[in-house]
Amino acid sequence: MAPTQAPLKVVTVQTGHRYPDLWVSRLAAMVARQLSEPHRFIVYTDRPEPGRFGEPIASHQQLVQQDLEAGSLRGYFSKLRLFDQALTGSDPFLFLDSTLVIRADLAPLVELGRNASASLMGVRDWNYPILNSSVLWCRPDAHTQAVWQCWQEGRYAGAHFAGDQNFIFRVFQELAPAALAYWPAELVRSYKVLRKLASRDAAAAQSQLEACTILKFHGRPKPEEVLHPWRHPRRTILRHPLQPKLWDYLAGEIRNHWH
């Protein structure tokens, strides 16, 4: 008899108080709706507490909290702890930021990750020629472990890194560039890039939206600000003061999925 395949691991990180716990609960709910296979949704956090993120909304999802044991890591850099197999184990996993909206079936994206030979798959950043770490498929091995090892050893102690993704990209570029791959661009779209495109070509922006699986909110605005533009005018209204249709751009899309 063939061994039973372990449930897929889908993970996120929630540390500090930068983002509300509700966003993690909504992320878990979106994953449950858009991923029909059995999976464990694991929240790595610095404050594991029973019931903190609610209960799973579907029987095929287990909702688990684990202590991130991040030590001195703060903010975005807490994510680097995921590259330590002593914490996360040796099974491949899908990482998702809490600042995104899942609008379509995740199965094709998971299948791409499973079939890839790369140690790490991520998003090609929309603004800089580096990795964006908002959606990752990690296949733990020596190359991924090197990220945590380099951090622990202070390999780039004299360098400045704006965020975790800059550090991850530096390690792979120097030690294993061929082990890093990227999702097809159409699967993960930037909200800000789509909104900018919509200001000059609404049809093209809509076409890109309908083809994507995940809508990422990097920088500002965040979904909550789009839903309530008058409460956050600097992030919404004042960005396009003469184009009212863009003030709450894709608010309906957010309401449909981000709950």
pTM higher than 0.85, yes or no?
yes
Answer whether residue 2 is part of any domain.
Answer: no
168 & 198 share domain: no
| Claim to verify: residue 163 and residue 212 sit in the same structural domain | no
Q: Is residue 156 domain-shared with residue 30, that is, in the same domain?
A: yes
Residue 244's pLDDT is 82
| Per-residue pLDDT of the chain in tens (259 residues, 90 and over written 9) | 444 578 899 999 998 888 999 999 999 999 999 999 999 999 999 888 988 998 889 999 999 999 987 555 555 678 999 999 999 999 999 999 999 999 999 999 999 999 999 999 999 999 999 999 999 999 999 999 999 999 988 898 888 888 899 999 999 999 999 999 999 999 999 999 999 999 999 999 999 999 999 999 998 899 999 998 888 787 788 878 888 888 899 999 999 999 9
Residue 90 located in a structural domain: yes
**22, 127, 222, 244 from 124: Cα distances, Å:** 28, 9, 20, 30
What pLDDT is recorded for position 5? 72
Are 199 and 163 members of one domain?
no
Q: Are residues 62 and 171 both part of a single domain?
A: yes
132, 162, 182: which is the final residue of a domain? 182
Whether residue 1 lies inside any domain: the answer is no
Same domain, 94 and 155: yes
Pick the last residue of a domain from 146, 164, 182.
182
In a domain, 3, yes or no: no
User: Which pLDDT value is given to residue 239?
Assistant: 78
- Domain CATH for 137: 3.90.550.10
- Output the pLDDT for position 73: 55
Nearest alpha-carbon partner for 109 in 186, 179, 28, 169:
186
Domain that holds residue 27: 8-182
- Cα distance between residue 35 and residue 93, in whole Å: 14
DSSP state of 97: -
**Distance between the two ends of the chain, CA-based, in angstroms?**
40
What pairs with residue 121 in β-bridges? 137, 181
Length of the chain: 259
The domain total for the chain is 2
Whether 170 and 149 map to the same domain: the answer is yes
- Cα 221-252-256 angle, rounded to 5 deg: 105
**Dist. CA 139–CA 257, nearest whole Å:** 28
Please tell me the predicted confidence (pLDDT) of residue 3: 47
Structure tokens at 222: 């965040």
Q: Is 92 in the same domain as 164?
A: yes
Whether 75 maps to a domain, the answer reads yes
